[in-house]
Structure 1
Amino acid sequence: MNSRERVLARIAGQPVDRLPVMPITMMFAGDRAGIPYGEYCRDYRRLVEAQVRVAEEFDFDYVSAISDPAREAADCGAKIQWFPNQPPALVEEEALLADKTTLARLRVPDPLGGGRMTDRVQAVALLKEKTAGEKIVEGWVEGPIAQGADLRGINTIMLDFFDDEAFVRDLFEFILEMELRFARAQIEAGADLIGVGDAAASLVGPQIYQEFVWPYEKRLVDGIHAAGGRVRLHICGRTNPILKGMGALGCEIVDLDYFADMARARQEMGAQQVLLGNLEPVGVVRNQTPEAIRAALSACHQAAGERYIAGAGCEIVRDTPPENVRAISDYARACRA
């Protein structure tokens, strides 16, 4: 059973030869390959080089085109600040939609139009070629509130939920169309799985999540499924109040950050939901010993049960000792369920 077969079997509820491993690595992957992160984010060939290398070195079951959340916003015209060896940053003080009336003039960018979205589509295609069916290939899009925050500003959009509900819904409709186009382009390029990052969803209460965010997440997930893709939901932060809603989206995989209660997630999402996580990236994966990491991962696995994939709660930080990352794969290789 190769890596791709292993993950697909786990998603389908079929037997696997060992526990799948799918931690998020971005800056860690770039550093292992000696690639400055600014290049990793700008040049799909460098991203692919780093992803293939780290997957092979640490026996991961997938490769991913994730790099930063500023691709769609940049193609919409948002101002981006670049750094040689850090992720690009959206300039929130000059948010593209600081003036709400700009939305009416905004057009959905073409994901194949030569911008940053195109670079990710090219990364997916090259990852597919380089892994030759051996690994799961993961694309990535932003979720509705995460992208809304990128375009409007995180503090401003939080006020919009109370001050201008109609604008929020119009904005989310725009985002939904954009992200579905982007996801379809990545699926057509060869993505087996589309990650949906919606971290800002952890910052709203369950009422706002259920009324405003969840319906658009659900339409995004359903649209990706209609395009022939599978979905990995990634919401960083304290998600305990919205776990039930996350589980009702129908995603093939749900990531849990270390703030979330794995046993509660299993109870609220049901026995069939595949869960991934939720080792603390800094306090455990970076700072503890391999033995302590394996013990912590065993506890996550026990709480999650059989429908589980090994990984951290969020990105493996760049200065994590390689032996600590290898401890995750070592544990997985020893598990036959």
Structure 2
Amino acid sequence: MRAVGRKPKPDFGRFLKAVRREGEPDRVPLVELGVDAEVMAAVLGEPVASAEQQVRFWHALGYDYACIKAIIPWTRRRDRAADTAALPHGERDWVTSHTAVVTSRVDLERFRWPKPSEVDYRDIEGAIRAAPDGFGIVGRVSGVLENAMFTLGFEGMSYLLADDPEVVRDTVDAVGALLLNVVETMAGMEGVGAIFFGEDMGFKTASMLSPAAMRAYIFPWHRRIVATAHAHGKPILLHSCGNLRTLMEDILATGWDAKHSYEDVVMPIAEMKALYGDRIAVLGGIDMDLLARGTEAAVRGRVREVIRACAPGGGFALGSGNTVANYVPIGNYLAMLDECWRRGRYPITC
């Protein structure tokens, strides 16, 4: 195992205190939506396949929880290319803007949606069993807009909003109903302490859809999903990339407990904390470009800057601006964690 410099005692209550904005915990918690399996394997020194190994990784590196996916068998068409990252896994795949499995009403009527009974929660259940004392499990699932776009294609969805909006409506509603069931199931698990909802709603300069379209199609499902998590007493955390400035009031009104994913050229986390930190917790904040291409010294310096700006008053956890991808140097990743451990104890003095 790569050295991480400590064997911390987990305290999921510390993380909950941050995301619920209940004041300052004893130290700044660490946060991630996800860490690529190749990174986990490089740190642990062995392939990571089981839920138990995932828990061991998150625990060993000082997190108070492990974030574990519910696996939904979506039908997708993907492009592929060789993975050229420092820790490659063969091929990298993605859904392009023009890739679609549904392009018309006829396609939609033939399309087979995953059934709630086909969603696989075994990793979450295994992680719950493996969690040590004080350690939490956060259930992870992807979002309504994301999965509707992956089904219709971004280009296709854009055209259909004008040409046949009811196809968009019915697609979004099918996705939303399934995800509502998934969140209901995860939030109802005694061993799940929170939900992480991945919903990329923007790109560098704007939201993916207009605010009007988001309000008509997507936000009603978000409100139901957030209310469902809260009905079980579980906080629900929004991961959303991109420029969301025109959507922010709607996001805040939905009731998400925390917002994750920040890019410095779009909105640095310090700006988010200054503008909205009295209404929502802020999570992450160390820009992916810096993590991927910067030096360890630069990463440490940025961690100190973010802690100084965001930690006072609580409502903050530190981590990457997105996820720990397999192109992030291990040294930079561990430097981020170590500097937070060194500098993140309250009262903040860095």
Q: How many Å apart are 1:226 and its aligned residue?
A: 2.4
> Contact (CA 8 Å) 1:79, 1:96: kept in 2 or not?
yes
Matched to 1:219, the amino acid is: R
Matched to 1:29, the amino acid is: M
Deviations 1:303-327 (A, max 9, x none): 4343111011111121433332222
Structure 2 counterpart SS, 1:196: strand
Q: How many Å apart are 1:107 and its aligned residue?
A: 6.1
Matched, 1:233 2:238: yes
Matched to 1:167, the amino acid is: V
Structure 1 pair 50/2, CA: closer, same or farther in 2 (3 Å)?
A: closer
The normalised TM-score by structure 2 is 0.78
Structure 1 pair 90/292, CA: closer, same or farther in 2 (3 Å)?
A: closer
Output the CA distance in 2 between the equivalents of 1:231 and 1:284.
28
Structure 1 pair 20/141, CA: closer, same or farther in 2 (3 Å)?
A: same
Output the CA distance in 2 between the equivalents of 1:270 and 1:94.
37
Output the CA distance in 2 between the equivalents of 1:103 and 1:152.
9
> Contact (CA 8 Å) 2:137, 2:192: kept in 1 or not?
yes
Task: Give the aligned partner of residue 279 of structure 1.
Answer: 286
Matched to 1:196, the amino acid is: F
Output the CA distance in 2 between the equivalents of 1:65 and 1:105.
32
Structure 1 pair 109/53, CA: closer, same or farther in 2 (3 Å)?
A: same
- Which protein has the larger Cα radius of gyration, Structure 1 or Structure 2? 2
Pick from 202, 221, 228 the counterpart of residue 216 of structure 1.
221
Matched, 1:61 2:64: yes
Structure 2 counterpart SS, 1:315: coil
How many percent identity over aligned positions?
19
Task: Give the aligned partner of residue 43 of structure 1.
Answer: none
> Contact (CA 8 Å) 1:58, 1:325: kept in 2 or not?
no
Structure 1 counterpart SS, 2:254: coil
> Contact (CA 8 Å) 2:10, 2:59: kept in 1 or not?
no
Equivalent pairs, count: 318
Output the CA distance in 2 between the equivalents of 1:320 and 1:64.
19
Structure 1 pair 176/56, CA: closer, same or farther in 2 (3 Å)?
A: same
Matched, 1:321 2:322: no
Matched to 2:284, the amino acid is: G
Matched, 1:292 2:298: yes
Judge which range, 243-252 or 100-109, deviates more: 100-109
Task: Give the aligned partner of residue 267 of structure 2.
Answer: 260
Deviations 1:99-156 (A, max 9, x none): 333434556533433xxx31xx111111111113432212122221101012111221
**CA RMSD after TM alignment:** 3.0
> Contact (CA 8 Å) 1:3, 1:20: kept in 2 or not?
no
Judge which range, 200-209 or 323-332, deviates more: 200-209
Pick from 340, 345, 348 the counterpart of residue 336 of structure 1.
345
Structure 1 pair 239/197, CA: closer, same or farther in 2 (3 Å)?
A: same
Output the CA distance in 2 between the equivalents of 1:20 and 1:290.
20
> Contact (CA 8 Å) 1:60, 1:329: kept in 2 or not?
no
> Contact (CA 8 Å) 1:4, 1:133: kept in 2 or not?
no
Matched to 1:170, the amino acid is: D
The normalised TM-score by structure 1 is 0.81
Structure 2 residue runs without a partner (length 5+): 1-8, 83-88
Structure 1 residue runs without a partner (length 5+): 41-45
Higher helix content, 1 or 2: 1
Task: Give the aligned partner of residue 55 of structure 2.
Answer: 52
